[in-house]
Amino acid sequence: MRFQDLLAYKKSSSLAMKIFEVTKSFPKEEMYSLTDQIRRSSRSVPVTMAEGYRKRIYPKHFYSKLTDCDGENSETQVWLEFALACNYISESVFNEFVSESLEIGKLINYMLLNPEKFGVKKD
């Protein structure tokens, strides 16, 4: 299996692209703060997942990278909260994105709890 075939990878990549599109309308003064931060954290989830998956022969590395993914996913939720509070996104967009992020978090958690299903050999 390729990392691109992982459901968590597909969903996190999709969310990162949705966030990229919606942040195009954020104010220019947010370019180097909220816009940059939410784009970085959302993109970091699939990127870090790919890195961890490719090094899954090292169980501790795989686990570490997935916990990093989970942290970046949570950070994205916080940036979404700020975007909503600043009225840069609607409540419906916020709810949609957070719902997707929560689903991604569950998929990451499943991977953490079942590493052998992803080719990781137990220590």
Q: Identify the structural domains of the chain with CATH numbers, from first to last.
A: 3-118 (1.20.1440.60)
pLDDT single digits (tens) 106-123: 999 999 999 999 999 876
Mean pLDDT for 11-29 is 97
SS3 content of the chain, % helix, strand, coil (to 5): 80, 0, 20
- Please tell me the predicted confidence (pLDDT) of residue 84: 98
Report whether pLDDT(75) > 90: yes
- pTM, to two decimals: 0.95
């991604």: which residue's tokens?
104
